[in-house]
Structure 1
Amino acid sequence: MLDDLMPSFSEPSVLLVCLAAAVGGAVRGFAGFGGAMVFMPVASAVIDPRIAAAAFLVMDDIVALPMAFKAVRICDWRTILPAVVAAMLTVPLGAYVLAHSDPQLLRWGISLLVLCLLVLLISGWRYKGRPTMPISFGVGMTSGFLSGASQIAGPPVIAFWMSGPSQAQVIRANLIVYFAIASLGAFAAFWWNGFFTMDVARLLVVIMPANAVALFLGTRAFAFASEKTFRRVAYALIAIAAIGSLPALDGVLR
């Protein structure tokens, strides 16, 4: 049945991508981030990274939209707006890299970045004081480039907000609102580069329901989580992404 719906993909590949979408949805709903960091490494190992990135962009924006409506009331707009404006400027550059670079080389770069982020967070380093506009702008530029290149825009903003003094509820809201707004630039850049194809549409038919149900369950779970649990789960997700995105493990995933 899956072979008839999506002749471009093997059935095991589709099932693995569907599982990644479900797990990614659960962690996105719980932490406010992490969906792409779980989905993209796995999906890119078994299907074209361009198809995976375009499918995730559409899926995440549609399914996570209700979360954004609630998050706008508690997020810190003074740090979000400079980051979003900066991200809009660099998303097209990242999308250009995705369209023209060697996917294997790009995946190695993402893996190393995620590993560095994990070390930073586990080290216990914390940003002292309120984030300034130049810092927010620089973080946004880096995140925007990564969004266009891989849909993994999270590492810079996660390190930025999670290393600061804000409470888990505000961090989660910042991430949700930031991703919702910044994704508009990614949509334009992906459309310009021709990433939205019928293969993307067919893949979404299969993976979006699993992602939506899992995201709902993850959102409900956040209400019962402590601050310590929130940060532990976040660190675990980053570790999974860092290990799972290593191209050296393709023999396991393929």
Structure 2
Amino acid sequence: MLPPLPELETALILLLATVFVAGVARGLSGFGTGMIVAPVAAALYGPRVALVVIVIMDSLPVLPITLPALKIARWKEVLPVALGLALFLPAGVYVLKHGDPVALRWFISLAILACAAALWSGWRYRGPRGAPVSFAVGGVAGLLSGIASIPGPPVIIYWLASNLPAAIMRANLLTLFFVGEGLSIVNLWAAGLFEADAVMLGVVASPVYFAGLATGSRLYGLASDTVYRRVTFLLIVAAAILALPAMQPLFAAIAGAVEGA
């Protein structure tokens, strides 16, 4: 027997609105889902539920664009990063499972703000490259993935500084994220975090996310990529700041306004 669907209350309305916005941002710019949804979902339902929701809703939409990418990805670049991610992702899940929820919310919001600032500034890693460094980058991505489902920023910063063609780098990222999603599902299952309520939230959020992706894809082309990226970064920063524990009174006021509407 399937568990019941969550009731349509204020928290769910706010979550679904955030998920839709994240889907539009992803459809326009190609990134931003985890960094927009993670802090808000963590503020509404807790960091553990937030990760489950993101993993569930962000698994299927990427399949049509990921499967072709597997054929052209450079596995010699992907494998060291994927190995680091695989080994350190369980540590991130352990921190998520046993960490203090308020401290985790601080970490998630501040980590997202730091990642957004690094990407916005255009900073690139200019140090030595090779398998050990790739493994270390993958380890950082694994920790962030296990805690908040945001493995992308450290890898993007690292690979953007390489001489990889844009098409190859995109294929490498899609391949790595595909591997990461599978590893996340396995680790969350092993940690017992796929609780019925969290899973049903992810199920309910998925069609809203699909709708956001479709909307963003249709809007694509109306402005430049620079505009899309700037809008996405602003949404990321707004979500991270709004979901800081210190902003809880404002968050509560927004929830009250939604209830009173």
Band of TM-score, shorter chain: 0.7 to 0.9
Of the candidates 25, 37, 52, which is equivalent to residue 23 of structure 2? 25
Q: Distance in 2 between matches of 1:218 and 1:57?
A: 20
Could you say which residue in structure 2 is the equivalent of 1:63? 61
Distance 1:86 1:42, change over 3 A: same
Q: Distance in 1 between matches of 2:199 and 2:79?
A: 31
TM-score normalised by L of structure 2: 0.82
Of structures 1 and 2, the larger Rg is shown by 2
Does residue 5 in structure 1 map to residue 5 in structure 2? yes
- In the alignment of these two chains, the number of paired residues is 249
Q: Percent identity?
A: 39
**In 1, are the aligned partners of 2:43 and 2:105 still within 8 Å (CA)?**
no
After superposition, what is the alpha-carbon deviation per residue over 1:103-160, rounded to whole angstroms, capped at 9, x for unaligned? 1111212222223333333443334599532222111111111111121222312322
Q: Distance in 1 between matches of 2:48 and 2:177?
A: 19
Unaligned runs of 5+ in 2: 253-261
Of the candidates 83, 107, 111, which is equivalent to residue 109 of structure 2? 111
Deviation at 1:29, TM superposition (A): 3.1
**In 2, are the aligned partners of 1:33 and 1:172 still within 8 Å (CA)?**
no
Does residue 232 in structure 1 map to residue 210 in structure 2? no
Amino acid of the structure 2 residue aligned with 1:159:
I
RMSD, aligned CA: 2.8
TM-score normalised by L of structure 1: 0.84
After the TM superposition, which of the residue ranges 78-87 and 231-240 deviates more from structure 2? 231-240
**In 2, are the aligned partners of 1:32 and 1:172 still within 8 Å (CA)?**
no
**Structure 2 residue matching 1:209: 3-state secondary structure:** helix
Counting only pairs closer than 5 Å after superposition, residues 1-254 of structure 1 correspond to structure 2 as: 5-6=5-6, 11-128=9-126, 131-164=129-162, 169-221=167-219, 226=224, 228-229=226-227, 231-233=229-231, 235-254=233-252
After the TM superposition, which of the residue ranges 172-181 and 236-245 deviates more from structure 2? 236-245
Deviation at 1:234, TM superposition (A): 5.3
Q: Distance in 2 between matches of 1:253 and 1:25?
A: 21
Q: Distance in 2 between matches of 1:219 and 1:177?
A: 21
